[in-house]
Structure 1
Amino acid sequence: MKSETLFRVLVAGVLTVAPTLLFLGLWRGLMALRDDDLVNRTMNGEFGSVPNSLLRPGLPGSSKASRDPLTANRPGTSLRCRTCDAENPSYADYCGNCLERIR
């Protein structure tokens, strides 16, 4: 019985410490990637800029994105709340500030 208790305590100790050690290893690995020379060279523009032809139609700046209701928060397309005078996107039904119905 004593060996079974010792085994259970050992397993509990490993299961308690292992996630912490794995997280710290992941953290140090991510910090090493962040400080890598390749990241610095890319940020300095050594490999050139991304050509416009690689942009997909759904990205901001394309013609399809301007019709997207989630990106319609541009001047002239917003609604004002009658209660608190807060500016809300045109697709909103309720005010984001006071939660009153807009329409």
Structure 2
Amino acid sequence: MKEKDYRLFEKKLREVCSLRSRIDYLSLRNENNNEIKKAKSEIEFLEFALTHLNKSEQEIIKGIYFEDRSLSDMSLKLGYSASYCSRLKVNAVKKLMNIMDIDNTKEKDGSGHYFC
């Protein structure tokens, strides 16, 4: 895995996690149904992928990306050292990259990932 791929995936992960507020905004304005459907699909796929992580990995991903908490905050919450939380996050993101990598049945975009 290349560092560039990891960073791009992590950036997209943050974007997908922030889609919930975008969906609410678009729903309130009753517009752009295709964008709402795509956003919901991406969120559902991410939530499915999260079920393949262990409990600690799920907590770190949800805390950092869904709740926008810091790594140090998550280390306090989970009771782990900051360095262990950092490794946990990196490993969880790598697992998500593998899980969410496109297979032959889905259309691949330029990034090589289903939800990017």
Shorter-normalised TM-score: what interval? Answer: under 0.3
TM-score by length of 2: 0.22
**Larger radius of gyration between Structure 1 and Structure 2:** 1
Q: Which has the higher contact order (CA 8 A, sep 6+)?
A: 2
TM-score by length of 1: 0.24
Task: Give the structure with the higher percent helix.
Answer: 2
Task: Give the structure with the higher percent strand.
Answer: 1
